[in-house]
Structures are given as C-alpha cells and as structure tokens.
Chains A and B, each alone.
Chain A
Amino acid sequence: MSKKILVVGSGPIIIGQAAEFDYSGTQGCLALREEGYDVVLVNNNPATIMTDHTVADTVYCEPLTVPSLTAIIEKERPEALLAGLGGQTALNLAVELHKAEILKKYNVELLGTSVESIQKGEDRELFRELMSELNQPVPESQVIVTVSEAKQFADRVGYPVISRPAYTLGGRGGGIAETEEELKELIHNGLKASPIHQVIIEKSIAGFKEIEYEIMRDTNGTCISVCNMENFDPVGVHTGDSIVTAPSQTLSDQEYQMLRTASFDIVSALDVIGGCNVQLALDPHSKKYYVIEVNPRVSRSSALASKATGYPIAKLATKVALGYTLDQLQNPLTGHTYASFEPALDYTVVKFPRWPFDKFSEADRKLGTKMRATGEVMAIDRTLEGAFQKAVQSLDTVIPPLTDLHKHLTLPTDLRYFAIVELLRQGKSIEEIHQSTHIDLFFLNVVNNLVEMENTLASHTVESVPEGVLKLAKLYSFTDQSIADLLGCEENSLAEVRKSYGIVPAFKMVDTCAAEFEAATNYVYSTYAGVNEIEPLKGSKKALIIGSGPIRIGQGVEFDYSAVKAIESLQAAGWTTIMINNNPETVSTDYETADRLYFDPIQKEVIASIVEHENIDLVFTQFGGQTAINMAEELEEAGIPLAGVSTDMLDGLEDRDRFYSSLKELNIPHVEGSTCHTKNEALEAASHYSYPILCRPSYVIGGQGMVKVMNEKELKQALQETDDRHYPIVLDQFMTGKEVEVDLVADGERIFIPEVMEHIEPAGVHSGDSMAIFPSSLPAYVKEAVTEYSEKIVRHSKYKGIMNIQFLWSGENVYVLEVNPRSSRTVPIISKVSGISLVDLAVRLLIEDPACDLAAVPAPSWSHVAVKYPLFSSHALPEIDHKLGANMQSTGEGMCLGSTVAEALAKVFSHLPDIQLHPESCFIEADHDYEDQKNLTFEEWIQTDEAAIYVNDQVTPAAKEKRIQALKYGITVFSEPSTFEAYLESLTIKNAEPTPLPGNITEGVR
C-alpha cells in the first residue's frame, strides 16, 4: 500500500481565503499522486475541484477543527500531513494539532515548513525578534498605556502613527493619527476600548511603495524569487484590495535586488521549505525599506505569481516538501530547463480586485488594512495600458456614477481607480492626483495615456481616424465597441476599417523565460503588439469553454468546478479543449487543465477572435455561470456556434412574460407576476397584487437588488434604487412555502434528476444563502410534481444540457419559480453526493455522444445525506447585517455528510456550544420558547466570554444594529427561526463519525 498523506484544505470561501486555495490544493494533491502517494483530503468546501475524486483518493467534507481532524487521523492513520496548501486555516490547524500533540501521538510527520518556523513567521512578537536578529527593519512600534507615552513616540518617529488597541475585535478603536490633536483623541478612545488598557502604537508607512516577493526554498537551502510584484496603490490599502502589477515597474535594479536579498535572508532564517510570500514597503524617496509581513505558505499572491509567470508554485512547493531540490525538478513550461531558475517576463501583468459592494449598497466602501475583495482578475499584455484595460474589462461589473471624486483619492475606496480616470478626463494633472494619493507618477502616466487616447479618438470620426491612432488604441486594448463609441460609429464599421489597415490581434505565449529557451506551452494571451506566434491546435473537434471570471457573491468557485469538469469530459471524448478565463485564482486557468488556455477578458471581440483563430467547432456557455451564459446572445449574433443553447431558447426561459405564458400553456403552476419596463408600469402592476411582493431586477447575479417589499412605500424605494440597466423589473406575488430545487441533465426530451434538494429556510431567502438538504426527504407527490414539471419545461424548450430549476412547495401545490439554463451553484454538491457527474452527462449530450443514454443512467444509491450551508464574510464586512433575504450575501458554502440529517447538522454546527447545557451562551430575541441566558441585557451579554449564539429574526433597525453588533463580537447570528431549529436538531447527535464522500478510488482496497 502506498504511503498516505493527509492534506488539509482551506474550507469554504470567505473574503481573504478564496479559490486560490482550490488551485494550489489541486496542484498539490495531483503532485502527491504523481509521486505515488495516497491522498486523504479534508476540506468542507464541496464547490472545489480538489474535493473531486479525480484529485484526491479519499475526500472528507468534514469540519476543519482539531477534534474533527483528530478523528480522521485516528481513522485513516496517515504518515504525513501537508498543511501549506490550505491557507491560514490549514496552517493554524497544523499548529494546533502540533500543540495538542496529536501529530506526535499518531506519528504524523508535518511536511514542508516546520511549526516553529510557521510561528516565527506568524506571531507578531516572534517575527519582530527575528527581524531584529537579521537586521531587517520593521516599522517602529511601542506598547503604551498613556496618552503622553503615545505623544513621545509620535514625536520621535514622526506622524502619522497607527494605533492598534490590544485585544479588541476587528481593529475596534484603532486608527491613524496625522496630528497631535488627532493622536490625543485616538489614543484616549483606544485605551478605553482596550480591555487591558493598552495600545500598540506604530509608525505609519502609508504612502510607501508596496512590493511583494514570491520565494521558493528547498531543503538544500536554494532560494529563488519566482516573481516580484508592485502595488499600484501605495501602502495603506491591503494588498488583496490593491491593484497589483508584475513584475515591479518603478524599482531600479539596485532596489529590486536589495529587497530580493532581504526576502532571501528572511526566508532562509525561517528555514522555509516550499513557498513563502514576503511583503515589503519601500520609501519612494530613498532606499529605506521595511518588512511588512511574511506568509510561510502558498497564498493568494503565490497563485497570482504562478499565473503571472507560468511557474507552478504550489505543485513545486509540494514536491519540495517531499524532499526534492529545485534543481531536480523540471520547469514544466519548457520541459528541458529546471525549476531552480527565476522566470523572466516579456509582458506585463495587472491584477485588479473584485469587490462585493455592488451587492451591498449600505456597505462602507473605504479600503484599508482589512481585505474586502471577494475575488480578482488578471490581465496580460505587452503594454501596461493594455493590461489595465483588459483587467477592467474582465471585472464584469458596471461602475456606478461617481460623486465627490476627490474623496475617493484621499480615503481610498474600491472606486479610486475610476475616480482617477474621471479626474484626468476633467483635466486634472497627474501631479495633483499624485499629491493626494501618492500613487507613483509612472502608473498615473499610464492611466493618463488611456484618457488621452479617449480624447484623441473622440476628436475623430471613423472616416478621419488615422491608422496610427487606431493602432495605438488597440495596443492599449481598447475594444472595438469602445473605440466605435468614441468615434460615434457602429462597431462593425470600425472593425472593418481596423481590418483594412491590417490591425488584427495576435496571440503570444507565456513561457517563463522571455523566449530564451524553446517552450511548448499552451498558455497564451492576445495582444496587438507584434506578430502571432501561436499555431491553431490540431484536432478534429475543438471546443471553447467560457469561464466565469472573478469570484464574487453569487458566482463562486462552483462555476470553475463545472468548467473544469466540462474540459475533462470533452477531453475524454476526444475533443481538443480551449479555455478562456481571467481569474488567476482558479484551476481552470491552470495551463495544465485545458489543451490551451487563453488568459483574456471574457468579451465578444476576444472570443470571436479565438474562435476564428482556432477554428472552434463549439462554444460552451453552460459551465461558466451567468458570465458565460450572458455571452450567448452576442456570440450567436456574431454567428458563433453554441453548444445546446440559442438566444431564442434562453429568452423563452428568462423573459418572464414568455416564460409564464409557456408555463400556462404547459399547465404548470407559477406564482403570479409581471414584467415591468418602467417605474410606472411597476406601480400599476403592483396595484393588482397584494403585498408582500418580490421585486427582482433583470441581468443580475445572485439576486442582486432583489427585495421583498411589504407595501407601496417600500416598493417605491426599491424602484428608486434600481438602475435603468436592470429593467425590466419582475414583480412576483410573494408566497410562503418551502423552496425546492433540482439540477437536471436533458437531452432535448428526456431528463435525468439524481434527486431533489430541499431548503431549510423558507421561500424568500435566496437559495445561495439557505441551508439545504440533499437528497431531500420530501413527500413523493412533491418529487413527482417536480419531475413532471421539469420534464415538461425541457420538452417544451427542447433544452439540451444542464439546467437548474427552482420550485416553491406551498400548501398542496408545487410552483415553478425560475429556470437557470446553465450549470448552477449546487451541481458540484449533487455530483459529489450522488457519485454521478452531471457536467459529464451534460457534455456528452451536448456533443451528441451516442453512447450517452439518459434512460440508462442508474439511479444513485444513497448512503448518506448532505447538508450544505452558507458562509458570510462578516469579518470583512462588519457593517453589514446578514439578515437572510432575497439578495444573496454569502461568499461561500460548506457541506457536511451524515447518516441522518441530524448527524450532518451536528457537524455543520459543531463549533457551537450546546445551549441545553450552556443556556448562558445564547440570547434569543425571537418567538421561541427555548431557554437562553437569564439576567443580562444584550449589551452586557455580548461582552461575556460565553456569548456564542444570538437569535433575532426581527426587521427593525434596532434588531439590525444588534445583529451587526453580535457579528462584530464573533457571535453566530441566526436571523431565521428555521436555521435556529436546524441547530437545535443538531444537538440530538452527540458523536458524529467522520464520513468520506462516496466513490473513494481506493474503496474496496481497504
């Protein structure tokens, strides 16, 4: 039997820990299997590729806690543990397992960087000690207990200074002081906020250049810097919230090497084995620098560095952890040079964060030391102008109208870049903007070049625009559409003129070595700089799979799962697969996933050029979430062959009027509703219904802007807040009941439904935010109705491929709520629990595989039941009330298995105390007869150590305030009685057994 290695994943996606760990984890697991190890994976994020059996031998979707991991270690008896791939979560667990002597007890070796080194890197005090030993400068700081001490410190190091009150949650009471007056107030409040009356005061280095190095180190002590990166935003904005360029742009060789050497010294002193990220701050006016922090593991930045350079950090870090030295490992991109080298780029890379503020109108958009982005995009081009433009195009978002532009500069927000663009358009100078932002003039100049190009184009017509201008505009990656808009012409006529000048896109290679060595890579990007060097792939049948872009609320890693699974199925069927995506965190943008990867914005012009260049047979839009399906109409108009969908079919399912009339025709019950194109139409339509009414805008992801209104006043307010582009608005009669959904595969006539999924929270809560049970335990008549209606819908639309339908079970009736003609959020869960890959079936139907017969698919057998649950990144969005509603707010989801629903629930809630034993841990403000704590007011209770569960389902402003307050204190908030009841049900189980996902590869061998 081969050696068994336990790998710990990073768990559900939360802000700060997203899909990048699926990418690194998948790479790591595959690397272990390549070396012949048996991989046991623990990760309770079902939406990931890494929790698929093609990646790990045994998969546990179990809580990432010490007791749960101990039980798994006890059961599986692995020889070693690999924790460096699962982010902070896995690293912390490794340290805790070490402290609890579990690793020692079961004789489990920790691979890679040692616990001692991890602690030195992570613990603030140990880290400062080490830096002082190494003579590496860190920003000066001091623990103070009086205002006058703070003043002395500030006088010595200079303003501004940062105050961090000790032992407060979420940086409460802290801040930055520019003047003595501000300092006095800040420290006064800070000391008050600190339970131990103590403040750590630190010299502010805001305004310094923020630079990162991604370092690899092996057991032989060989260090390499895979990539360095420079932030567009100076120190002050979290690097996860910063626009980042690779390589650094404004550092001289002296500075580049100085910081690289410092990074090597630190990583070597920490004795890191594997990957390590080092963040530094460089004074823009001298060679003075500070070390900000070190992450002795793969990270978001290492995923970005891997995609920016082509160097697979996680894969090689895993091999290094197994004892290989870098010079023993091949550089997979060239195939004949070695991993002990530093990539040379002959292009530039821009990373742009994707924030969730489009979902949260009430959120505070200010950026600071706490990361708030849910995802990011990356763009590659030969000019920075081009890379910036491509990155912005990849965001797949609409920038709201900006007011008070200057405010975005001094107090950075997610909109700062766009405010800068706007100010430059208004004629502000880059020097003025530099004054208030400290953004390097080099970068501002790049942005200004774009604005100047806009102005030049706007001064021309399509007839008058000179060839050189057009060429430069394309070099800067302006889309044909945007150029046409500036010239005041149709996109088509501009495209014709452009082509007549011979200005056409080229494709170039990412090869890690700037063409120094011959490389046979399949990692390419489009550019208008230079000639094409990419030959179309050979293959009789070629598929282009459209990815889902950046991770955001409503469109997470689950869509990457579908895209990757689609690629695997197509490859198995003998197709040549080509992927287009722009999210550096994902497995789909690992150049080893598809036969070729185009790292480019998902937009019609680029897709059309790839289709033409590669002579694509079929474009797949069902596996990249709403982003991909939204492309269908434009692609069809451009005459591009789509797999299984047509605009007319999509319209028939998504246009409410057409959809409802076909449901009527099919005799399928649906909730009453109408489509309204204007505000007045909506008010008129509402008068025919009784409140509450569900008001949903069009063309949105994850129910953005969707709201349940209780009366006309609320409706008016909701309409007021809705953008024109989100019309038509659909008004549905709100009905109470249970939500039920299915993911099905259809061949145009027949369907296959593995089972039905049942929501725990009632209708009105977005499906992405509700807990759900799969397979359901619904009465047979409900399941029959669901199957019957699904079949009718499929037959009527002759739909082929994968589809998600949501139903409402109310009284004796089942109503259809909506149809999503694409792979959905729940597909990975259903596939993993049932052991049947829905994506694989769908792909085979779409490519008309004659061997794929839906009638012959065996009904799955169920050994366990799964409960999926949402996670809200309240740590990063502390000002948001996560009261469940129609607008999706969760950033990720988890899943646990059990032999009963109660057992699965017991795992989901295993981190919570039992309120039957500890009533003091719970505070209930809902209609419930459970016993909670007795004597304290809410304000007193949240201060107690025992406070853990807060139940409040009210909609009053006071309730909202309290929920927010509770979340800030790290308390679990139940805003729906049904969720709380699920928790109570979980208490009936005392000993939950670890349960692997069905279908283990090694099953039966044991």
Chain B
Amino acid sequence: MQGYLHLQNGQSFKGKVSSNWGGDVQGEIVFFTGMTGYQEVLTDPSYKDQIVVFTYPLIGNYGINDIDSESKEIQVSGVVMFHCAHQASHHEASVSLSDYLNANQVPFITEVDTREVTKAIRKDGTRQAVVSDKKEVHFLKPKAGQIYQTENIEIEEFGEGDMHIGLIDFGWKKSILTSFVNRGIKVTAVPFSKAHQLKNLSLDGLVLSNGPGDPKDAQEHLSDIKSLLESLPSFGICMGHQIIALAYGADTHKLSFGHRGANHPVKDAVTGKVFMSSQNHNYVVAEESLLSTPLSKRFLNVNDGSIEGLEHSQKPILSVQFHPEAHPGPADAEWLFEHFISLITNKKGEEVHV
C-alpha cells in the first residue's frame, strides 16, 4: 500500500507502508547511520517513541534473533527503510525483520529515499514526523517524559558477586547490565523516580543508565541523585551522563539532529587517543555551563567538539555521552567498565586503610 512519511515542516516522502498497517504513527524522527545493529536499535529504550530512519539501504538481512535485543520489546514507534528483508539469512535468526515488526504492530515504511530524508533532518534538525497512508495529516502535540515510561516499575536484582552496584534506571539497555554482571558484579536496578531507595542498600558504586528524551524530565529527582553521587563512585552513560551534569548544576541543550550511529570519533583528553563510539543522543552537556561545577571535560567529539564525557575534580565520578557497552556499534571504549570498577576497588582500598 502506498504510504507517506510526513515531516513537520511540510516535506513528505513517498513509500510503501507495511502490510500489517495499524494506522498513523507520530514521533520524533531520527536517523541511524550504522550498517548493522538494527535489532539493538529497535529495542533500545533510548529510542522510545521515536521514528528511526536507517540510512543503510538493506535492513534485515540477518533477521531477528532471541539474543541481541536490548530490552524486552520494540521501543521505536515507527521505522523508515529503503528495503526491509522478508527473509532472514543467519543461523541465529528466529524471525525475519518484517515479520517481527508486523507481529509487534510496529508500523514501517519502505521504498523511501532514505538519503533524502536524512538530508532533510540534517538540514532542519530533528522534528516530529508521521508515517501514514494518507497524503495529508495533522500533527499532534509531541509526547514528552519518555523516561517515566521506560524506567521499570520494580526494583530488580541481577547477578552475583562481592561488588554491588546500583543502577539508576532511566530505561537501561541490557548491555549495560551485562557489562557488569559478566564481570562478576551484583547489580540492583532501581527506577530513577525511586532513586532514594538505593541509600538503604550498602552499595559499592552507582551507574546511571541511558534513557530517552530530555534529561530535564528528571528535574525533581536530581537532588536525590546528587546525594548518592556524593557518596559513591559513579558512572553515567548517555542520559546518565547528562543527569550527573544537571545534578552538579551544569546545563544541557538539544542538538540539531543528534548523534546516532556506530562511527562517532571520541577523543580522550587525557591520553590524546581517539576511538570510535556507539552513540544515540539528542541532548548534550553545555560546555560553558561546566565552569561553576566540579566537573571537567574528559572526552570530546572529534567532529563537532561537543562534550563526550566528564570527570569530577575530587570524587570518583565519571560520565560518558557515548555507549561504552556498544550493542550496536564498536566496543572500543569497553575499557571504561574496567576503569570504573578499578575506581571502586581503589576507593574500597582507601576505606580499609583509613
């Protein structure tokens, strides 16, 4: 069936809407430039409510498997592709991409000139878009506060180990959790709106997860979070990084079209080394707002110079805008997990000596 992708400035692109069409869908439109990793993207809670455009033209070649999802369900609200595979060719695949999207009632549109869509987003920035079978549509007020949907309701415990980490949940990716659990660390995930409850669990460290939307949606919980940060070695990833910045009084602002993909070069201000990172964010920490905070820039984006990570001047607090846990994308920054764990171990050591 003929369909359209309408952007909220009048631009429309023709395509074919999915066979299991369930009606129009609206969301913020973003593009992902990675050539693999569609399953991880679709299930990453940070993409909640967004319509994702894949720039690589052939999506779904290796199907969908039971292992690589980053959460229990599809998080995106719609998908824009040039071509979506109806068959899967991979030993791990359990279902084809088109069957998977249809079975989960996620509308998608194909045969779209995705390069043109990407250029439109690049030119005028991220904005609302509608996937529809109609030539004209009305735009609704954009949804907000996605983190209140993606945080889990319950406190959950994962893994076993002598070290115990609290994961403040804004919609965590499975790979962040497994990055710790696989290293023999016990993790307790607590919804960010119940962050104060972490105080009662004698924790060794704190991780602030990724999450969708605007970090300022969590404004009212910042003071609770800050008091935790003050007492524990902490590591913020993506939204977690932005929350740390906000908690210490820095500011965040929205990028024109964000960073999404598997090829973003990040420079370590300490070693001078550059590595590739997996990224997915619309908001960044404003550099000038750091002046009056104890935070300083540890990592920066080689392309646009934006802040990619922070360090606290006295406390073992580290944060990164990118995704060291990878999935999708490169694992070049995986060493940060080891680094963070060493911060905890060192702190523990100090305590013993004191």
Contact = CB atoms under 8 A, between A and B. Distances in A.
B326 interface: yes
Contact of B331 (A257, A337, A514): A257
A531 interface: yes
Contacts of B327: 253-254
B68 interface: yes
Contacts of B261: 344, 516
A220 B273 contact: yes
B31 interface: yes
B259 to A, nearest CB: 9
B151 interface: no
A223 B56 CA distance: 23
A253 B122 contact: no
A384 B326 contact: no
A808 to B, nearest CB: 56
Contact of B330 (A260, A337, A514, A529): A260
Nearest to A471: B111
A223 B263 CA distance: 12
B126 interface: no
Nearest to B86: A445
Contacts of B115: 346, 508, 514-515, 530, 533
Contacts of B329: 253, 257
B62 A327 contact: no
Interface in B8-52: 31, 33-37, 39-40
Interface in B288-325: 302-303
A230 to B, nearest CB: 10
A445 B122 contact: no
A252 B302 CA distance: 27
A355 interface: no
Contacts of B303: 337-338, 341, 517
A508 B114 CA distance: 12
A153 interface: no
Interface string A234-273: 0000000000000111111110110011001000000000
A326 interface: yes
* Highest count of chain A CB atoms <10 Å: which of B65, B82, B115, B263: B115
Given A250-B62, A326-B274, A515 B55 contact: yes
Interface string B252-267: 0000000001111101
A252 B92 contact: yes
B91 interface: yes
Given A257-B331, A514-B56, A517-B122, A252 B274 contact: no
* Highest count of chain A CB atoms <10 Å: which of B34, B58, B261, B274: B274
B345 interface: no
Interface string B265-280: 1010000111110000
Given A253-B36, A342-B276, A516 B31 contact: yes
Given A256-B36, A341-B302, A250 B61 contact: yes
A529 B62 CA distance: 22
Contact of B55 (A223, A260, A348, A514): A514
A348 B58 CA distance: 8
Given A346-B55, A515-B122, A516-B122, A220 B36 contact: no
A224 B276 contact: yes
A518 interface: yes
A516 B118 contact: yes
A898 interface: no
Contacts of A719: none
A925 to B, nearest CB: 57
B125 interface: no
Nearest to A254: B68
Interface in B217-241: none
B273 A222 contact: yes
Contacts of A669: none
Contact of B119 (A264, A284, A445, A515): A515
Contact of A220 (B39, B262, B272): B272
B328 interface: yes
Contacts of A253: 34, 36-37, 39-40, 68, 262, 327-329
B120 to A, nearest CB: 10
Interface in A198-234: 220-225
Contacts of B262: 253, 342, 344
B249 to A, nearest CB: 31
A344 B34 contact: yes
A529 B331 contact: no
Contact of B91 (A284, A326, A347, A445): A284
B265 A249 contact: no
B35 A344 contact: yes
B274 A220 contact: yes
Contacts of A442: 61-62, 87, 89
B122 A518 contact: yes
A866 interface: no
B36 A347 contact: no
B281 interface: no
Contact of B273 (A221, A341, A530): A221
B272 A440 contact: no
B113 A513 contact: no
A251 B122 CA distance: 28
Contacts of A256: 35-37
B89 A514 contact: no
A383 B39 CA distance: 21
Interface string A434-445: 000000111001
Interface string B87-116: 101111000000000000000000001111
A420 to B, nearest CB: 16
A325 interface: yes
A861 interface: no
B159 interface: no
A257 B55 contact: no
A314 B262 CA distance: 24
Contacts of B37: 253, 256
B83 interface: yes
Given A253-B36, A515-B55, A517-B122, A344 B263 contact: yes
A772 interface: no
Interface string A325-347: 11100000000011011111111
B113 A530 contact: yes
Contacts of B58: 249, 348, 383-384
A529 B273 CA distance: 40
B280 to A, nearest CB: 13
Interface in A376-404: 382-384
* Highest count of chain B CB atoms <10 Å: which of A223, A257, A440, A514: A514
B332 interface: yes
Nearest to B272: A220
A251 B56 CA distance: 14
A531 B116 contact: yes
A285 interface: yes
Nearest to B266: A340
Closest 10 CB pairs of A and B: A530-B113, A253-B37, A442-B89, A342-B263, A514-B55, A344-B33, A253-B36, A515-B118, A222-B274, A253-B328
Interface of A: 220-225, 247-254, 256-257, 260-261, 264, 284-286, 325-327, 337-338, 340-348, 382-384, 440-442, 445, 508, 513-518, 529-531, 533
28 contacts: A221-B273, A251-B62, A252-B39, A254-B67, A256-B36, A257-B329, A257-B330, A257-B331, A261-B330, A325-B272, A327-B267, A337-B303, A338-B302, A340-B302, A341-B303, A342-B263, A344-B34, A346-B115, A347-B57, A442-B89, A445-B89, A515-B119, A516-B261, A517-B303, A529-B57, A530-B113, A530-B115, A531-B113
Given A257-B328, A257-B331, 13 more contacts: A223-B275, A327-B274, A337-B303, A341-B265, A342-B276, A343-B263, A344-B262, A348-B58, A383-B83, A442-B87, A514-B55, A530-B82, A531-B116
Interface of B: 31, 33-37, 39-40, 55-58, 61-62, 65, 67-68, 82-83, 87, 89-92, 113-116, 118-119, 122, 261-265, 267, 272-276, 302-303, 326-332
